[in-house]
Structure 1
Amino acid sequence: MDEVDHKLTDVSKSKNRARPKWRKSWDFVFAAVGFSVGLGNLWRFPYLCFKNGGGAFLIPYVLFAIFIALPGLILDTSLGQRTRQGLLQSWNISPIFKGIGLAQFVLILNASISYPIILAWAVKYLVRSFASPLPWASCTNKWNSVNCIPFNNSKPISNTNLSVSAATEFWKWEVLHVSRGITDVGQIQTDLAMYLCIVWILMYLATFKGIEWSAKVVYVTATLPFPLLTIVLVRSLMLDGAIAGLKYYLIPDMGKLSNFSVWASACSQVLFSNGAGLGVVISLGSFNDRRHNFWRDSITIVGMNMLTSFIGGFAVFATLGSMATYQNTTVDQVATSGPGLAFIAYPETLSLLPLPQIWCVLFFLTILFLGYDSQFVCQETLVSVILDNCGRVRDHRYGRELSQALLCSLLCLCGLSMMTEGGVYLFELHSSYSVAGWCWLFIVACECVAVAWCYGFDRYWDDVKKMTGERKIWRLWMKLSWKFVAPLTCIIIAIYYIAITKPPVYEEYQYPKWAESFGHLLSAIPVMFVPGFAIYISIKTWRSGGKLRELLSESNGKRQPSMEEMAAFHPNDDYL
């Protein structure tokens, strides 16, 4: 008991640096919804739905949302709320798996390098949306080739092998200035570099004062995309050919469900979209009151995410249907995902509308707000990890402001490498390997094993009951998911993705072997922290004479103060 008293005394000394809390219970919901509802809802989910059986894709998507994404968010939120400590400290629950926190930190860091690049592109499009005529609607610009086909309201156009749309040429030759390959770096695009710096300055202004300030910002950035998206949706449904696009989106092809890749796509999309297992929600949950109702919040987050994805699909395929009608082709010929949808297909179709500048401004504002709140919540998580683990920085009067400024500057410098003429090749490689793919799935599986098996499900459920009371209906659901469904599913799909891995390509460009190896290294680095730290702490414990089995659930083999003991020692201490 002396050891526990000593730990409690250490905690009491930290009262002058009590962990901040959300001022309102809904602050957490807005921040988490702002993080989870992002660009993937608008440009990835609709395409996956179309590609994988239309309405039939919703069956595996909803099942995985119920049995993996929702339990995953509940696990993340309750873990952060349970300890009210940082991302790394939360994994003291199972010290041998503390490398999960390090892996999640690296994943968030990687996402924070490539995600702002998309926002910089969107800023450029937003600025150019005020021009008349729109630069992606005509072929009279200096970057256009003789094969350019302008979009106008006179008559439909026909596709040929040599024709290139004006929007495609604007994207490739004016925005990206695409070089011949990843080794042809070229010059930095000064306008894009300036827009990237603006993005990071705004990111700093949203987060430099901590969650009390960022909570105010997120009320705007998390809510504004929804009315903007609604306006775009209504206008899209009024376009000629919209019904044809919606048929491609919604009509189910049940035969697709026999293809394992459909289920793999549904699982990975629902995880990536909700952010389960990334660690951001653990950090956000650590700012909750210990009695906060995370059950309600988790349902709200998953529900809003699914609703946004579904509504976004209507807007996207109504637009693609109109585009296919205008080009005298089929929807499957124009359907695309990722930047090609946001920066080619949508601007192309919006340029046909009356007062196209207004609709383009609204669309790119939607893109910016969807991406901005997702990114600055990640930024808050990164700086919280730094402050939680660097006492001298945390105790400095301007420690948060300076560390946030340094972090934003370093990430901005990393992003400048993707602002060159060959930067898009690096962006595609980085975004395909560093966050998405099998590495995230592996970490989700490790999360479940650490909590449900090493720490013990029954023991963790007792902790949950002390926070929110008994939830008998949820117990069996969470037990099946955390112990069996989620880890097994994630491991199987991770192995599947590794097995079907193909050499990376960008359009018709084949990456060299060294770039492919670099991509695999990006995927492996976060994962290596899990076994790497387990080996390190095992050797350290063995040399100090400790028992290795005690690493499964107790830090260094020493008993930790229980939640009751900590609350009794300082019942009014917010840090607890």
Structure 2
Amino acid sequence: AFLITTYYTVVMAWTLRYMVAATTIEWGMGAAGAEGAGDFFFGTVLGLSGGPGEIGAPLPALLIGLAVVWGIILLVVHKGTAVIGPVSQVVMIVAWTFLGILVVRGVTLIGAAQGLNFYLETDWSKLASGDVWFAAFSQIAFTLSLGMAGMFAYGSFIKSRGDVNNNALITGFGNCATSFLAGFAVFSIVGFLMQSLSIGVEEVASKSVGLAFITWPVAVSMLPAANAFFGVIFFLCLFLLGLSSAYFLAYGGVISPLMDKFGWSRGKTAVGVCVIGFLIGILFTTNGGLYWGPDILDRAVAFYGLLITGALTCLVVGWVFPASRLREYVNGTSDFHIGPWFDVMVKVVIPAALLFVVVYGGFMQDIPNSYSGYPRWASNAIWGVLIATLVFSFIMGKMKTRGRGD
């Protein structure tokens, strides 16, 4: 959780930079914006170097944005769940409102139907692709904060007789519903660009960060009216959604577990985690930061790390705890009950599926081909980070627990 937060906050710093840029459509209007959005992102915003071996220096705008993000996180997590709960409610209501505005604007644009057809049309043949399963498992693990202690920490604050099954369903459904709704905002814009630029969806729907920081700015520059307004709204929405995830990761995945483990006070733990997170994040504000943060480190911890941790968690809970005991407990607190199928899923199906995807990603993709075409030493860094993270987690688990500080 901590490593993910260190580069996740840098991506949020990008959104702050784009919020400022959107006020004047800094990347250009109309055709100029369509041609210049990529150069603006990689050149002006990131100052991207030629590869992971060229780290360079921190970019002042991103460094300031990173400090602002960590400062906000510190203000929120310093007071614990008493503040996190109310803040989350306000942030999510505002974010959903902005998301609704973007959806309404998107679906009313010319060509939106093309993008939505691509979004909603099912291609069953893709289920035979290991790449699809690899991306799907890692994505849902990340968005639900599975395998990174956050859910365990927040679950500990539920009342002893709280409805566990209902809370779990609401969390999963709310997450997926938000993602599904966001898809309408994104792919309606994709369709608009397909119509406006007379190009195919493959040329518009960029992968990874390109969709948010290149495709959307292009669309904003070509809107018939209120370009700056919708540009600011989009990146503010991204920032708010990212903020809710960031302080969740920082508190639930790092600060709360450290308090429980070592008995440290909330204030000192929060300051220490935020300062260290900021210092590590400086690396990702450099010219080579994109390679090391949202790419190499993300591949190590958010892909392989989360899936391996999830599989190990299922094996321990399923066979050692065991799963039947857990099922009996949660059924005793809930209005609706889960059946014996839960035991089979936790003990066999889920860990087998996760480990298969990990093996596929490693032995079929990254090991033989070198990840993303990087030099072999950079690709090997993925495995170094992954092994170091797992070893560190094991050592932390073996250390004596002193109890909660406050």
Same fold (TM over 0.5): yes
**2:161 aligned counterpart, secondary structure:** coil
Residue in structure 2 matching 1:387, options 259, 277, 286: 259
* Correspondence list, 1:282-293, <5 A: 282-293=152-163
d(CA) in 1 for partners of 2:122 and 2:327? 40
The residue type equivalent to 1:413 in the other structure is: L
Paired residue for 1:122?
A: 15
Identity of aligned residues (%): 27
Q: How does 1:466-481 map to 2 (within 5 A)?
A: 468=333, 473-481=337-345
State the match for 1:570 in structure 2.
none
1:263 Cα deviation from its structure 2 partner: 3.4
Q: Corresponding residue for 2:389?
A: 526
- The question of 1:150 aligning with 2:32 is answered yes
Residue of structure 2 equivalent to 1:90: none
User: Structure 2 matches for 1:155-194, cutoff 5 A?
Assistant: 165-194=35-64
> Could you say which residue in structure 1 is the equivalent of 2:233?
362
CA distance in 1, matches of 2:151, 2:103: 29
Match of 1:321 in 2: 191
Structure 2 residue 401 is the aligned partner of structure 1 residue 401: no
Task: Rate the CA distance shift 1:390–1:335 in 2: closer, same or farther, 3 A.
Answer: same
Query: Is residue 2:371 matched to residue 1:504?
Result: yes
Which residue of structure 2 aligns with residue 85 of structure 1? none
2:92 touches 2:241 (CA, 8 Å); kept in 1? yes
| CA distance 1:246–1:459, shift in 2 (3 Å) | closer
Pair 1:366–1:530, CA change in 2 (3 A): closer
The 8 Å contact of residues 417 and 423 in structure 1, kept in 2 or not, is answered as yes
**Alignment partner for residue 487 of structure 1, among 343, 348, 351?**
351
Write the distance in 2 (CA, Å) between the matches of 1:494 and 1:267: 10
Equivalent of residue 28 in structure 2, options 126, 132, 137:
137
For residue 138 of structure 1, report the CA deviation from its aligned partner: 4.7
- Give 1:504's aligned amino acid: Y
Distance 2:325 2:204 in 1: 53
The corresponding residue for 1:10 is none
Q: Which moved more, 1:517-526 or 1:422-431?
A: 422-431
Which residue is 2:74 aligned to?
204
Partner of 2:6: 113
For residue 232 of structure 2, give the secondary structure of its aligned residue in structure 1: helix
Q: Residues of 1 paired with 2:255 and 2:396: CA distance? A: 22
Q: Hey, what does 1:377 align to over in structure 2?
A: 248
Query: How far apart are the structure 2 equivalents of 1:291 and 1:454?
Result: 23
The reply on whether 1:517 has 2:380 as its aligned counterpart is yes
SS at match of 1:278: coil
Answering whether residue 134 of structure 2 is matched by residue 276 of structure 1, we say no
Q: Looking at CA atoms only, which structure, 1 or 2, has the larger radius of gyration?
A: 1
Alignment check: 8 A CA contact 2:163 2:330 kept: no
Note the alpha carbon deviations across 1:347-406, whole angstroms, 9 max, x for none: 110122202111011101110011000010111121112222223x33xxxxx2222112
1:229 paired residue among 87, 99, 114: 99
What's the secondary structure of 1:474's corresponding residue? Answer: coil
Per-residue CA shift, 1:119-173, capped at 9, x if unaligned?
Answer: 0000011112222xx111259xxxxxxxxx504xxxxxxxxxxxx8111111122
The 1-side partners of 2:90 and 2:144 are apart by 20
- Aligned with residue 422 of structure 1, among 279, 284, 288: 288
CA shift for structure 1 position 275: 2.1
Measure the CA separation in 1 of the matches of 2:285 and 2:100.
32
More helix by share: 2
Structure 1 residue aligned with 2:169 = 299
- Report the CA distance between 1:462 and its aligned residue: 4.1
Shift of the 253–387 alpha-carbon distance from structure 1 to 2, 3 Å rule, reads: closer
Whole-Å separation in 2 of the counterparts to 1:249 and 1:469? 36
1:177 aligned counterpart, secondary structure: coil
Unmatched segments (≥5 aa) in structure 1: 1-107, 140-148, 152-163, 395-399, 541-554, 556-574
Are the aligned partners of 2:112 and 2:189 in contact in 1 as well (CA < 8 Å)?
yes
Counterpart-to-counterpart distance in 2, 1:496 and 1:533: 29
**Kept after mapping to 2: 8 A contact 1:437/1:497:** no
Mapped to 2, the partners of 1:415 and 1:530 lie a distance apart of 20
Q: TM-score w.r.t. structure 2 length? A: 0.91
Amino acid at match of 1:130: T
- Paired amino acid for 1:478: F
Distance verdict in 2 for CA 1:463–1:243, change over 3 Å: closer
Alpha-carbon distance, 1:428 to partner: 3.6
Using the alignment, how far apart are the partners of 1:469 and 1:235 within structure 2?
Answer: 40
**Matched-pair contact (CA < 8 Å) for 2:4–2:302:** no
Q: Residues 529 and 194 of structure 1: is their aligned pair in 2 closer, same or farther, counting only changes over 3 Å?
A: closer
For 1:4-43, list aligned pairs within 5 A.
none
Aligned to 2:113: 243
Q: Deviations over 1:463-513 (max 9, x none)?
A: 4355x1685x403232121122111111211211111223233xxxx4222
